[in-house]
Structure 1
């Protein structure tokens, strides 16, 4: 029966694909179609490496765990919606019990490779819409992650990630949150070229947070209406956070007011903030219309980390800044650390200290 069921699914997928102008499943790979009222998780569990789970429009009340390498979990646009279940989570459902919507999960010994999550909405979860741990080459694209309690999309202990063309809004903390590890104090990890690009990030606490990471790019995103646009965070652990790029983003009016937390002061009116980082290139961004009374307020801000670690050898160049208060460029670094950071070729009106524009 199972074999017949799979054949039916492939035929159904081919018909749906033809109707949408999409290519059928490639030879040897199955497409498992999920209809409204059916379980996404059952289809994921039945799928093999290289298969696609195609979720048709509808509202699905469940959490979904993906640990099969090469699997694609794809909806059919924003009308494919994943929300929390109204039933109590099973004891072994760590994704649901953790308050997450979609969990892509490998292990420390074996990262899960080549998973794609695309073309759906995930909303209303108490922790993260999409949560990824120990992944290699995860792609999250065309996902709407909104109104989740902590993060829209979050990833830790992972490499080679791609986060592209997502709409991430109204989440309790960061829209996109990338970290070496969420729970432990460790030095910055090499993401081996992770990309965060062409996303729309609005009305979150922070648009994009990069914490204790190296070797990645945040590029070509539209970031507006958050408390802070981009936050690159380092601390006293070694290696230091940095050696990454924030470039060609449009970062405007992130003036939402957010109260202080155990880790951070109150946030408001910050475009790009670097704390405790080294060798970060902030280049060719448009940063405008920020205003606030937080110690981190301003257009582009270099701030000694919350534990007093200096930022060194960072470069801020070619950015266009206007109408940011208390200044377009702000640096609280002093001494040798201040001398090692460079501000060149920026178009701006005022800086603190003076002379950086």
Structure 2
């Protein structure tokens, strides 16, 4: 064989070996630099997400490769990003690391305190399914981002957040969960007034097959916007009561709320729900604008397109501004004002029926 050809073959073999070695090294590296924000830590199926999360530092990214990861994950590190490879990176119950998140029955927990909120955690591009309680459970956070996740078939909430501010919950699929697709509250398990979230946004999510698409309970200063909400028992519930300050001063706008006709039985707090589009109970100064609300039909107290109803303790809505919405095919009415509240305004809406008459 000519010497020149031997040299070319040797060079090609050496280059291929070097490339292979580089790729293996990159995939195996526990802390390869991803960008200026911080190192990137890879986790493969069968490895412990929790161990890598616990070892990570603020600003790091934990990257899940495609596959199934068994066991709950608890995040307490500020500025951490937990990123999957899309819906093929799946967190499910199993014999993973035991932690407080697993003990509570949740899948993925982001945990700070009301006094010292955990800042700037990001959860993105992964799936969480099959947990007894909440798929993603956040408590005591500020600046949390949850995006591009598929949270489905969990026993209670899909994505839940309490005692938190400035969250962005965007572009997620939250489906077939036992309670809400997205649940936001001051406190999940105790009473209290309604704090201001500082601009939390629930935007561009697909919410189907849950008891309620989005529940906002005892909060102020947020927006539920541009979501597609269908196939639940109710689309949107904004829940207040006699607590001070009252729930309200928030926006429900530009959502598509269609055919939320699944039937859900009563629970200890609410009667049965079916065919409810957007429901306000015990709120003040809520703005409901620019929504498409169609074909929500049922025979419960909450059935109808946009419904005003007293809270469970009898508190009426006040100061609701319901404008520029397009409603059709909702039953028993497009607008159902079943409340005794004062100063609620209906203007520039398109609809075919209301109870009482005159709300269209």
Whether TM exceeds 0.5 here: the answer is yes
How far 1:86 sits from its partner (Å)?
4.1
Partner of 1:45: 54
The two structures have a TM-score, normalised by structure 1, of 0.92
CA distance in structure 2 between the partners assigned to 1:30 and 1:78 by the alignment: 23
1:355 aligns with 2:358: yes
Distance 1:9 1:150, change over 3 A: farther
Q: Does the 8 A contact of 2:305 with 2:335 survive in 1? A: yes
Q: Does the 8 A contact of 1:13 with 1:31 survive in 2? A: no
How far 1:27 sits from its partner (Å)?
3.5
1:189 aligns with 2:195: yes
Secondary structure, counterpart of 1:151 in structure 2: coil
Q: Does the 8 A contact of 2:114 with 2:164 survive in 1? A: no
Secondary structure, counterpart of 2:166 in structure 1: coil
CA distance in structure 2 between the partners assigned to 1:9 and 1:27 by the alignment: 21
CA distance in structure 1 between the partners assigned to 2:248 and 2:354 by the alignment: 23
User: Rg bigger for which structure?
Assistant: 2
Gapped runs of 5+ residues in structure 2? Answer: 1-21
Q: Does the 8 A contact of 1:14 with 1:25 survive in 2? A: no
Secondary structure, counterpart of 2:158 in structure 1: strand
CA distance in structure 1 between the partners assigned to 2:359 and 2:114 by the alignment: 44
1:310 aligns with 2:316: yes
CA distance in structure 2 between the partners assigned to 1:148 and 1:44 by the alignment: 23
Q: Does the 8 A contact of 2:33 with 2:39 survive in 1? A: no
Secondary structure, counterpart of 1:25 in structure 2: strand
CA distance in structure 2 between the partners assigned to 1:28 and 1:273 by the alignment: 42
Partner of 2:8: none
How far 1:123 sits from its partner (Å)?
0.0
Partner of 2:114: 108
Between Structure 1 and Structure 2, how many residues are aligned? 338
Of the candidates 77, 93, 102, which is equivalent to residue 84 of structure 1?
93
How far 1:184 sits from its partner (Å)?
1.2
How far 1:149 sits from its partner (Å)?
0.1
Partner of 1:3: none
Name the stretch that deviates more: 35-44 or 192-201.
Answer: 35-44
RMSD: 1.9
CA distance in structure 2 between the partners assigned to 1:64 and 1:294 by the alignment: 39
Matches within 5 A, 1:283-294: 283-294=289-300
CA distance in structure 2 between the partners assigned to 1:11 and 1:162 by the alignment: 35
Name the stretch that deviates more: 157-166 or 103-112.
Answer: 103-112
Secondary structure, counterpart of 1:346 in structure 2: coil
Secondary structure, counterpart of 2:359 in structure 1: coil
Of the candidates 53, 58, 73, which is equivalent to residue 64 of structure 1?
73
Matches within 5 A, 1:17-166: 25-27=34-36, 29-86=38-95, 90=98, 93-166=99-172
